[in-house]
Amino acid sequence: MAYPTVPGRKFAYDVGGGSVYRGTSIVDMVSALSTDEMSKLNGLSNSTYAVLQSYSSNYGIKLVLWVFLPHKYNVSGLGMLHAQSYAGQMPPTRNLQSITVHGSADTTNGLDGTWIAANLPNGSIPTLLTGDDDWRDQIQPCTFSESIRCLRVEYATTGSYMGAVVYALHIYGMKATGEVVNDILFMDDDASGDPEFIRDLDFGDRPEGTTTTHRIKLYNSSSTKTANNITLSLIDQDLLFSTDEGATWVTGATITSLAPETASTSIIIKNTIPPPTQMLGPRSPRIEALIGSWS
């Protein structure tokens, strides 16, 4: 099946300098999520939950998540997996009562600042999303009237002995203009003018036993600084890349340096789907660029 167009770039908040906190109300932040919990929350599993709000005899208990982003972002969509569990029963199969989304450009701790209600073109967030493909084919359009630094999501349960179960929370969009002066950008070398990717690269709906490629470049957006020892990694069983026009295919490589406002040579990404029979479905691997230093 063909999936809807991805609405933006998926933020790697679990490895890109973000943090996530949980609480039971918008004025009660309890604790930070661990690195493992954040990885699960930004992952794809619908069987291993990232965050569980234990059931309570109190009516209408909430689970609140705050996602603090390293920079201001223009949010364009949310990918989500969640449900409600009765008395801790797993897997959860019930609808939550509601999901409320807000963002803030100026909060310092998640409790202060000005909070803006999300614009949800679909009207509301579905209260039960647990299907294998829901994180991909049920991405919810979501925008704000300005760039935000923190996203707050409230999961409300329907009654006594109900608990919220959250498997995934993906945030799509782009960094706000001017937020990161010295940065390495991913450019689409197969598009005219080599523009920056405004959404995740999608290899599309393809049959088994096929291979396709796409060219990208890295671009140093700094006007004054050189990026040194850029480590590029792509760890996925079906993807490799080449920095030498296909002579060698690797999962990791180092670019010694990129001068200010300079692009790398072309990097070819190769996606191979093995012959039948495979367990097909959507995937979301990462290619990461880690900068050793700026000079």
**pLDDT, tens only, 147-157:** 999 999 999 99
| Amino acid found at 106 | D
Quick one: average pLDDT of 222-230? 97
Looking at residue 58, what is its pLDDT? 66
25-53 pLDDT, tens digit per residue, is 999 999 999 999 999 999 999 999 999 98
CATH architecture designation of domain 9-175: Sandwich (2.60)
Mean pLDDT of the chain: 93
Looking at the chain, list the stretches that DSSP marks H as alpha helix, in order from N- to C-terminal side.
35-41, 134-137
Name the band, by pLDDT with cuts 50, 70 and 90, for residue 54.
confident
Q: Which has the minimum average pLDDT: 67-71, 233-237, 275-279?
A: 275-279
Residues 58-90 as b/e (b if ≥16 CB within 10 A, e otherwise) read eeebbbbbbbbbebbbbbbbbbbbbbbbbeeee
Delimit the CATH 2.60.40 region(s) of the chain: 184-294
Does domain 184-294 fall into CATH 3.40.50?
A: no
CB 271 within 8 A of CB 211: yes
Name the band, by pLDDT with cuts 50, 70 and 90, for residue 59.
low
The residue among 169 and 238 whose pLDDT is bigger is 169
Q: CA of 168: how far to CAs of 52, 66, 134, 161, in Å?
A: 11, 13, 10, 22
Q: Positive or negative CA dihedral for 37, 177, 121, 140? A: negative
